Amino acid sequence: MTNEAVRALADNLLKSAPSIKNQIKEIDIKIKNNAPNIVELKTNRDNQKNILIKIINAIGTLSYDNQKIICYKYFEGLSWAEIGVRLSLKGLTVSARASKNKLALGKILFDNEGDLI
C-alpha cells in the first residue's frame, strides 16, 4: 500500500471519530430505554468504542504538539491557518506536519491490506 493510501485511510478514520462518538451515545440511549436487541446493541457499542480507543491510543504516540494539530483539525474542525495561529506556526508547516502525522497514524492503525488492526 502506498504512503498516500495510508494517509487517506488515516484521514477518513480521523474524520469519522466524531460520528463514532455520536453512535456510541445513541446506542447507550437505546440500551437505557430497553431496546429489544440489547445484546446486539452492546456488541456494536463495544466495537465502536474499540475503534475510538485505537484512534486515541494511536494519537497518543505522537508528540504533544502533533497531537494538538490532529485534535484541532479533526475534533474541533479548525483550518490549517487557524491551527497555525494557535500554535504560532505557518499554515503550510501545520499542513506538512499533519500529512506526516497521518502517515504515522495510518501505519499504526492499518495493516498492509488496509484493514484496521
**Above 90 in pLDDT, residue 114?**
no
Neighbours of 67 (CB within 10 A): 14
Domains of the chain with CATH codes: 3-109 (1.10.10.10)
Q: How far is CA 78 from CA 30, 57, 72, 96, 111, in A?
A: 32, 22, 6, 15, 29
Least confident of 13-22, 49-58, 107-116: 107-116
pLDDT digits (tens, 9 = 90+) for 68-90: 999 999 999 999 999 999 999 99
CA–CA separation, 34 vs 20, rounded Å?
Answer: 21
DSSP tag of 116? B
- Asked whether the CA dihedral 29, 34, 35, 37 is positive or negative, the reply is positive
pLDDT digits (tens, 9 = 90+) for 29-48: 999 998 889 999 999 999 99
